[in-house]
Amino acid sequence: MMQIRALIVLLITTNLSCTSKSPVLDIINDSLLNTQKVYLVFRGTNTKEGYLASNFNIKYKKASHVGIAVFINNKWKIYHVINSVDKEKKDFRASDFITFFNDSEENIKHASVWEINHLRNSERIDLITEIKRYESLPIVFDKSFSLDSTKLYCSEFINNVLFKINKNKFKFKIHKKKLNSIQSKILKRDTLYYYPVDVFQLNRNINIIKEWNSN
C-alpha cells in the first residue's frame, strides 16, 4: 500500500514538473491586458539568433523579437513572423502567451508588454482586419532583411500593420547600419536598411506597462 502511494506521489510530481510554465508568465500574461486595446509583446532570448537580432537595436538591447497582441474570438493572440525551423509550421504565427514565451524552446531572458495608446476603436478594427489579411497570405520569413522583398521579418510586419492604420501616428524611421565583414558576407551587402525591434519602443504613442528580466 505504501509503495502504491509513493508511486502516485511520484507520478503527480513528475506531471507537474513537466507542465510547469515559464517563470516569465507569472509577470507577463494576458491578465495585464484590456480587451479593447492593442499591445506589442517583446521577448529576448539567450540564443544565437536572439543575440544577433538585439545587436541591431537602436537603444534598448534586451528585445530580439516582437509580436502584436489583439483580443479576437474571445481570446488573446500574439501575431508575429518568425523563422520557423520546423517546416511543418508557418512563419506567420498566431500564438497565445504560453506558446510565445515557451522557455524550453526559446530560453527567454527578457519579456515586456507595451500598450499602443490613443488607438480609436475604428483603428483597432482596421488593424485586426489587416492582420487577418496577412494571415491569409503565404508569409515567408525574410532572412535577407530586405525592405524590397515580398518576404517579411518580425519588426517589418509590425511596421506595415501600424503604418497602414495611421500613417501619421505610426511613421517609423528606417534605420541604416554599416555591416561588419561577417554580417556583409551573410546578408550580401555592405549596408543594411531595416526596422529594428526596438524602434516601436521609441515612439511616444507606445508605452511599457510591464517588464520581466531573468537574473
6 pLDDT more than 90? no
131 pLDDT more than 70? yes
Q: Supply the pLDDT for residue 21.
A: 61
153 pLDDT more than 90? yes
Residue ranges per structural domain of the chain: 24-213
- Please state which CATH class domain 24-213 belongs to: alpha beta
What pTM was estimated for this model as a whole? 0.86
> Model confidence at 88, in pLDDT bands (50, 70, 90)?
low
- What confidence tens digit (pLDDT) does each residue in 48-69 have? 778 778 889 999 999 999 999 9
> Model confidence at 26, in pLDDT bands (50, 70, 90)?
confident
| DSSP string for residues in the chain | -HHHHHHHHHHHHHHHHHSPPPGGGGTSSGGG--TTS-EEEEEEESSHHHHHHHTT-SS--S--EEEEEEEETTEEEEEEE---SSTTS-SEEEE-HHHHT-HHHH-EEEEEEEEE-S--HHHHHHHHHHHHHHHTS---B-TT--TTSS-B-HHHHHHHHHHHH-TTTT-PPPEEEE--HHHHHHHTSSEEEE--GGGGGGSTTEEEEEEEE--
Q: Supply the pLDDT for residue 182.
A: 85
Q: What is the mean pLDDT of residues 79-98?
A: 89
